[in-house]
Structure 1
Amino acid sequence: MDAQPLGRSGHMSTFLGKYLIVLGGFSEVTHDDGPLENVYVSTNELWIYDTEFEIWRMLPIDGRTPHFPPGLSGACAVLVDHYLYIYGGHSLEGHYGELHRLDLSSLSWERVPCKGKRPAPRDKFVGWSHEGKLHFFGGFGVPFDEDPEVEVLHDNGSFLLNPGTMFSYQERGWNNQIIIFDPETLVWSNPQYKGEPPSPRAAHAATKIGDKVWMFGGRHGLVRTAELHCLDLKKKTWSGSICAPGLWPCGRTWHSFTAISQRQIFLYGGYTQYRKPLSDGWILDTELLQWTQLDVPGNKPRLWHTACLNNYGEVMVFGGCQKDILDHDDNSDHSKEILTFCFTPPSLVRICIKLAIDHKDILETEWGELPKSLRGLLYSRSVRHRVGEQTEQLQLITHGT
């Protein structure tokens, strides 16, 4: 059986060319038939999934360098050029506040030096790149009051204390800060934006279309919201909570929210107010401000997964928890399965490749006449077809128009 990454949740994923890149996260493993052990997956292994050959590969990263981050869940990864920037997250030592970057050309880690004030450590937040800078919003972590030993950004944004941590060793809660890092100047900033910002929250999801960031859901205090917000990066203005008539997804956390066109966003899965893992799919039309519920084949609940748009225009969901992640009496069941959501018919080339593999017994004698790249692709796919890769194509059907 071919190598596969460990099933995980709270990991980081991105797409680069034809490759899905997976790093870090939280999982459960057994040793010698012993009890389950909670683990943070090492950041010294980088898994890539080749969408052309449909195969996983693990790329080892030199663990001798002192600059690699610890195992993290709920961290945020932002791709700028050939660098994958990793910020925040939760480790065995608690909330983590360092910024690292992975050079994808040399597979070497570097801890990024920062000048001046820094953000307070946090996890379960969102991030994106804009004009070459890293942007992050919200999250769950420690207060950003000024620390006598470390100057913390606290000029803008608010913090909501979690009542459950008031008497613990460390107070924690939710924030609604926007924090920005400039890789050129190595300076963090915490600018003021106009309009009504979202309330402090974590485990929300966001995606960027042009100069706008669309954000849905998240936990604020004891509530998993169904709020939709938009941030205009050009005007530096929040929209406030957006309301629209018609169908509307239920409140949730740990979902994904992925732009699939210049006006449409795909919402998938998550975790409800009543601690139910979700498998529903929705399309948001950002111009009409209209939701359309999708008919998703099969029951594939996912929460705290990742979702990325691949080079075929499909959304690839990897990992995530399939059960109630807060039920400590039940295994969390972290998935290692890829779900591929198709929104348009496959190309003629992909149809022909599938038919050639499905009818290999008849057509394989003719494969040698094909161009080398196509011939290699067919032979590789043929091997995968026999082995039985855990990859499922899901064709979506909308309810109504």
Structure 2
Amino acid sequence: MSTCKGTYKFKPLVFHPVRPRGNLKDGTPLPMPRSGHRIVCHGLSFYSFGGYNPKITTNEYLDDTWQRTHPLFQELWQFNTVNSTWTRIEGTGGMPEELASHSAVQLGPNMLVFGGTAMPFGDSSSDSAVCLSEDKLYVVGGTTGFQYSIDVHCLDLTQGVWQQLSPLVTHPHASPEERYRHEIVEYAGALYVFGGGRSDAACDLTHLPTFMLPERTWTSTHTRPDAHTGKYPLPRRCHVASKVNVYIHGGYDGVEAFADLWRLNLITFEWQKLPCKSPVPLYFHSAAVTEDGCMYMFGGVKNLEDNKRTARVTKVWLNVGKLRDICWEALCHYTPKLPSLPPSTLLQMGIPQYIVESLQHQTPAYG
């Protein structure tokens, strides 16, 4: 087996580019660069739905679906985190037409997709932020493409019933500023709103608009700056947020794109600027966290001047991983061809059954 140079070292809070492989059963083994998509984690894979790229022509991407939906991707991809393999999934039924600036959450083995924009691109867009708490899906704010809102709605997933939680009419100063491309997190009976803005502005993160679910009222939560630098994250929209504590990465304020990673403690509400940055600033990207605490990021806009998108996959461990994960990373570092060996060979070598099974658990390729 061929080996990699250098000594393997497990390092949390360090961004690592992931070199993806394509599923050769598919005529398009790797996804094209995109933004405005969403990813969710399930098991040992993450799944990416939709996206947008006006820079790719129909001659560059000879795909029947792309010819019909460009510049939007009507695609669902699976990325197996054990062997770093992309597979385009063939689904049944009608795939949604709203393919960019939607929201998505994971519910058991399902991905729930809400809102977004279809063609003609930009004529309408929800850009709402959603989060899932037990059997409730909460939706906050967004835009129609022309008007912004900060309304709060709830979908009872057991009964399939929508309910508007925020008052239909409020005092002008009772609700926070309307916005889009924000993120929300539910914690202890409250919805916290992170950033967002409008086409010409971004909201700051020194105070978080907070919707108290039992009282159905808006309030504001004061956050504390990083204890070492005395600074807060800069205002931003089009960033990503993950609830493991709360981590936010990247984003855009209308002038500058960001590569920084911040953590907010939901007990003390103190920000901590983490000592790492992604290889390039990103916005309109997507991120998800595995059960073991590894954040994967895919796609996004990486160049402000050229409005250039990427298909890069990057991961960062937010904590110390399990020994089994560290051992597998080390084995693949020294023997990159290990994941491609036959299952019988891997089992004879002592590779755990769950890893061998996950290497074979690839959803059938598209086409």
- Of the candidates 57, 68, 71, which is equivalent to residue 39 of structure 1? 71
Match of 1:224 in 2: 202
* Partner amino acid, structure 1, of 2:35: S
Q: Does 1:16 align with 2:46?
A: no
Instruction: Check the 8 A contact 1:25/1:71 in 2, yes or no.
Output: no
The answer for the alignment partner of 1:353 in structure 2 is: 328
Q: Provide the residue aligned with 2:281 in structure 1.
A: 301
The match for 2:176 is 198
User: Structure 1 regions of 5+ residues with no counterpart?
Assistant: 97-120, 143-171, 381-401
> 1:320/1:60 Cα in 2 relative to 1: closer, same or farther (>3 Å)?
same
Can you list the C-alpha shifts for 1:199-236, whole angstroms capped at 9, x where unaligned?
10011122233533322111146321114233333443
Aligned twin of 1:255: 239
Return the letter of the residue paired with 1:135. Answer: Y
Partner of 2:15: none
Contact 1:10 1:73 in 2 (8 A): yes
Cα shift at 1:52:
2.4
Listed as ranges, the matches of 1:137-286 within 5 Å are 137-141=140-144, 172-192=146-166, 196-220=174-198, 222-227=200-205, 228-240=208-220, 242-245=222-225, 246-260=230-244, 264-273=245-254, 275-286=255-266
Indicate the SS of the match to 1:270. coil
Query: Is the contact between residue 248 and residue 291 of structure 1 (CA under 8 Å) also seen in structure 2?
Result: yes
User: CA 1:357–1:13 in structure 2 vs 1: closer, same or farther (change >3 Å)?
Assistant: closer
1:116-135 residue pairs with structure 2 within 5 A?
Answer: 122-135=125-138
Please provide the CA RMSD for this pair.
3.2
What CA distance in whole angstroms lies between the structure 1 residues aligned with 2:268 and 2:72?
Answer: 42
Matched, 1:370 2:345: no
Whole-Å separation in 1 of the counterparts to 2:261 and 2:222:
20
Percent of counterpart pairs with the same letter? 21
8 A contact 1:307–1:316 mirrored in 2: yes
Return the offset for 1:239. Answer: 2.8
Residue 341 to residue 359, structure 1, CA distance change in 2 (3 Å): closer
* Superimposed CA distance per residue, residues 322-342 of structure 1 (whole angstroms, 9 cap, x where no aligned partner): 022xx5xx2x22221111121
1:127-166 C-alpha deviation (Å, 9 max, x unpaired):
0223423221111216xxxxxxxxxxxxxxxxxxxxxxxx
Q: Going by fraction, where is strand more abundant, 1 or 2?
A: 1
Q: Residue 72 of structure 1 corresponds to which residue in structure 2?
A: 99
After superposition, what is the alpha-carbon deviation per residue over 1:263-298, rounded to whole angstroms, capped at 9, x for unaligned?
Answer: x2111100024x211101111112222111122155
Cα deviation for residue 94 of structure 1 reads 5.0
In structure 1, the residue matched to 2:8 is: none
Task: Quote the residue 1:292 is aligned against.
Answer: 272
Deviation of the 1:29 alpha carbon: 1.5
Q: What TM-score, normalized to structure 2?
A: 0.73
TM-aligned CA deviation for residue 244 of structure 1 = 3.3
Q: Output one character per residue of 1:31-52: Cα deviation in whole Å (capped at 9) or x when no partner.
A: 4469xx961001xx32111222
In 1: Cα distance, 2:353 partner to 2:90 partner: 27
> Which whole-Å CA distance do the structure 2 matches of 1:280 and 1:19 have between them?
25
Greater relative contact order (CA < 8 Å, ≥ 6 in sequence): 2
Quote the offset at 1:307 in angstroms: 1.4
- Equivalent position of 1:49 in the other structure: 79
Count of residues in correspondence between the two structures: 310
| Residues 130 and 140 in structure 2, CA contact (< 8 A), matched pair in contact too | yes
Q: Deviations over 1:312-362 (max 9, x none)?
A: 2111111111022xx5xx2x222211111212233322332233344449x
Structure 1: distance between partners of 2:359 and 2:149: 51
Give the corresponding residue for 2:111.
84
1:95 and 1:122 in contact (8 A); partners too:
yes
Range that drifts further, 244-253 or 192-201: 192-201
Q: Any stretches of 5+ residues in structure 2 without a counterpart?
A: 1-20, 23-28, 62-66, 361-367
2:318 pairs with 1:343 = yes
| SS of the residue 2:222 aligns to | coil
